[in-house]
A and B are shown apart, each in its own frame.
Chain A
Amino acid sequence: MGLRAYVVRRCLQLVVTFWAFFTLLFVLFRMMPGDPTSMFIMDGMTPEQREQRIAELGLNEPLHVQYIEYVRQLLTGDFGQSFIYNDPVTSIIAVRFMNTIVLMATALIFAYIIGITFGALMGWWRDSRFERGGIVVTLVARSSPEFWVGIVLLSVFVFWLGWFPSSGMRTTGGELGGGFVARYGSLDFLRHLFLPALTGAIAYLATPTLLMRSTMLDVLNADFIEIKKAEGLPERTVLYKHAARNSILPIVTVAAIATGTAMGGSVVIETVFNWPGMGREMVSAVNNNDYPLAMAAFFLMGSVVIIMNFVADLAYVYLDPRVEYE
């Protein structure tokens, strides 16, 4: 199979995966406990109002009509009204989604910079004290659920040392609005961002570190490294210019997949730090039976995962010409 055929096939697969995903979503949210009408209806309604509301929501239609309507709404980005906020879900989610992206992107960038550096050094100094210690530290980081890392950081840096604010995204009374830079660039915001982002960074550190280490070991066994050393190049040059650069390739794919996984982690980190993002919104929406909002949040998170998996597969074949397309 040529590259082009592979890409076409992978695109088709993307469409099928998306279809399966939002069908799953439809089934899940129609399975919600009790009579499907009861949860969409506020208390204190007369039976007539109730009937009217059911008709409005299209819940008296046959299931396949509801399904088609649901697909149409998803494709037009219309997720309905939130029960709790009484606002269109799309506008609520858009803000939350941006907050989540800023948090998780920061966390992942930290995780990958630290992980790649550490992993490369661990591979370079194999069988050293540094490597053995590094592996233990990495495994400990990987063994800690996000909420636990968050709690430890909170206890040390907020409750004990008092260096950072404990929760939220900005100090109350602080100015809201303004452009992107004003929103996400202020010192107050960065102080709030630091601990949740560090939590994410620690939680996602293990994968790039261990992967970088093992690919480094593979690359270091390759002949060209011996040749470069024999050429009399300084160790540093061989490490950075030749060994590390050639080891980064698999990290790119893993990074894309990790971005998807991080969407799940955002649920926990945002809850610990009261970060007004999509994950926390989803938890509270599920708890408050605000199904349109929960569904939209779930849909967006799943979309990020699916798209990032797609990006990972494409990046893989574009970056490494040796790869065979199955």
Chain B
Amino acid sequence: MIFLKLILTNLRRHRIRSFISVAGIAFSVAAMLTVVTILQGAIGMFSGILSSDSEIIVFERNVSDLFFSNVPAAAVNEIASWPMVLHADPVLFGVVSSADHPIITCFGVTAGDARIRKATWIAGDRRTFAQHADDVVLGERAAEFLGAQMGSHVPIGHGVFHVIGILKTANGFEDGGVFMPLSSAQSFFHKDGMSSVITVKLRNRDDATSFKNAVKTKYASLIALEDAEFNHSYSQFRILKATAWAVGGCGLILGGLGVANTMIMSVFTRIREIAILRVNGFSSMQIAAMIFGESAVVSLLGAVLGLLTGTCLLLILKLVPALHGYVDVTIQPVVMLIVVLLALITGIAGALYPAIYAMRIRAVEALRFE
């Protein structure tokens, strides 16, 4: 109890300094939580597009980005005809811009595609999809920001398209996207006869290995991966995840430097007090434990405050109309745990030098210290 009080007393003694340290950790934690959650949400959404009513994705081997993947129509047709395949849907991804909107994702799909089939059609009829080359279906949010309604004509990229439907999906990318007939998308993006990926649903999931081997044997330039494998190995996802953790990590390092500064000041301003504790029997390890205890309290308070701030920030971002559907505020417990652990480790690392310094204080000299 006294030990805890010694820890808390010092933090209370310099409230502003302690608060700044707590705030430093809190902002770092909030930044890490927000960035990681947003990027993981984005990854989740993108992988959700790919795994829509499918369990395997086929794309061009060794491409770093699916937008650059080219899968020939012949492969699509042949794979779709394999007995083990229930359905194989080609999807062509493209990105265009329009006035005020630098990035609009386009999906070139067939009429039977799961994205078209399973979405809620707010306006229009699914059966009319892909009947004319300039027909498009907009996601609800895309319709909103393009100011488009059912039947209107909207400029997208270098073309003008006729809106024949508006659909609502839970996926932010899809909700903010444009669905074109596959052939129109191939023409629009100058990829005649190509798709970016084939999403495949097997009759029997146990055939996944056989399917992957068959693709490997038949098409040396293509690769088939199960959804989980793809999520784990896709370089864009890995880059995004690494970026998220790196950004957060940099924040935490800054927070850790704040803690280190606080703890150094804390030790320097109470050298005499530490000497008194030493004279009264505190071992050097107990002194170190006290310093680490202080930094742990700062880090924990910072982590809690950071988690609250980060969560609030994510909720606010979710309310921003422009980001609607793009921000997934579901904070994964494992992310929370890692962030808190990193904050603690940062705090403890920040207290390392001050603790060593405190352990080495010579009581006899320190008692003369004013």
Does A pair with B? Answer: no
**B interface list, Cβ under 8 A from A:** none
